[in-house]
Amino acid sequence: MKKAQKGNDKAFIKIFQEYEEDIYRMAFVYVKNQEDALDIVQEVAYQSFKKINTLKQPEYFKTWLMRITINCAVNLVKKNKKVLQFKPNFEEIIASDDDDVLLSITLQELIDNLQYDEKSVVLLKFFQNYTFNEISEVLEIPLGTAKSVLYRAINKLRKELKETGSYE
């Protein structure tokens, strides 16, 4: 990490590649297509390389990358002002073991209907296994806000699942 912070591009690439797949998955959930998600990965690589010397705590490198990823994805969605209306391979995003693909697809569609802050908290908590402290750092929100946003999002998801008849 110290080499990367001093401008060593090979050291940075090695570290960045450890998290590239996580960055892609997070970006894909927001933009819903491979090309835009790959563009975001590239933009995150560029921005993080350019600003790595500003990272004060190297142990939060992944958290820092996820914050950049979410910001890039949200900016792209806002810029395009549209979401592509097609059905991507949801089980890859949700990491389903094909046990209940229909429920996975339904869950992904419901998550897509959440507000950006709710979606971000849900994805970080349940798909990236972040703690509330890490979520509050990534999203730059107070710890209590991270918790309340998650519980609000969970209640919305439960309500929507009941309405679709997929709730058990």
- pLDDT per residue rounded down to tens, the chain (168 residues): 778 777 778 888 999 999 999 999 999 988 888 999 999 999 999 999 888 888 888 888 888 999 999 999 888 887 776 444 444 444 444 444 444 555 555 667 777 778 888 888 888 888 788 889 888 888 888 999 999 999 998 888 888 877 766 554
The whole-model pTM stands at 0.63
3-state class (DSSP) for residue 133:
helix
Q: Which two tokens stand for residue 159?
A: 């309500």
Q: Would the CATH topology of 1-82 be identical to that of 92-168? A: no
Q: What is the predicted pLDDT for the residue at 83?
A: 43
Distance CA(52)–CA(144), nearest Å, equals 29
Q: What is the predicted pLDDT for the residue at 32?
A: 82
Q: What is the predicted pLDDT for the residue at 166?
A: 53
Residue 51's CB: how many other CB atoms inside 10 A?
Answer: 11
What CATH architecture is 92-168? Orthogonal Bundle (1.10)
The residues spanned by each domain of the chain are 1-82, 92-168
Distance CA(65)–CA(70), nearest Å, equals 9
* Domain 1-82, classified CATH 3.30.70.120, yes or no: no
Q: Which two tokens stand for residue 66?
A: 């996820």
Q: What is the predicted pLDDT for the residue at 81?
A: 61
